[in-house]
Amino acid sequence: MIELMQEYGKAFLWSDGYHFSGVAVTLWLLVISVVVGFCLALPLAVARVSRRKACWLPVWCFSYLFRGTPLYVQLLVFYSGVYSLSWVREVDFLNWFFRSGYNCTLLALTLNTSAFNAEIWRNAFRTFPREQREAAESVGMRRWTYFRYIMLPQMWIESLPALVNEMSFLIKGSPAIAVIGVVDLTRVTNRISSVTYEPLSPILAAGLLYVVIIGMLLKLQGLAERKAKRLAR
Burial class (CB in 10 A: 0-12, 13-18, 19+), 68: exposed
pLDDT for 73-91, tens place per residue? 999 999 989 988 999 999 9
Mean pLDDT of the chain: 86
Cα 192 to chain centroid, rounded: 27
What CATH number belongs to 2-232? 1.10.3720.10
CA distance 66 to 80: 17
For residue 232, the model assigns a pLDDT of 56
Rounded to 5 degrees, what angle do the CA atoms 203, 214, 48 make? 120
β-sheet bridge partners, residue 22 = 184
pLDDT for 3-38, tens place per residue? 677 667 777 787 766 777 788 888 899 999 999 998
% pLDDT > 90, the chain? 33
Residue type, 233: R
pLDDT for 136-167, tens place per residue? 777 877 878 888 888 888 888 888 888 888 88
pLDDT tier at 57, thresholds 50, 70, 90: very high
pLDDT for 189-203, tens place per residue? 888 888 888 888 888
pLDDT of 225 higher than 80: no
Radius of gyration of the CA atoms of the chain, in A: 21
Q: For 172-185, give the secondary structure using H, E and C.
A: HHHHHHHHHCCCEH
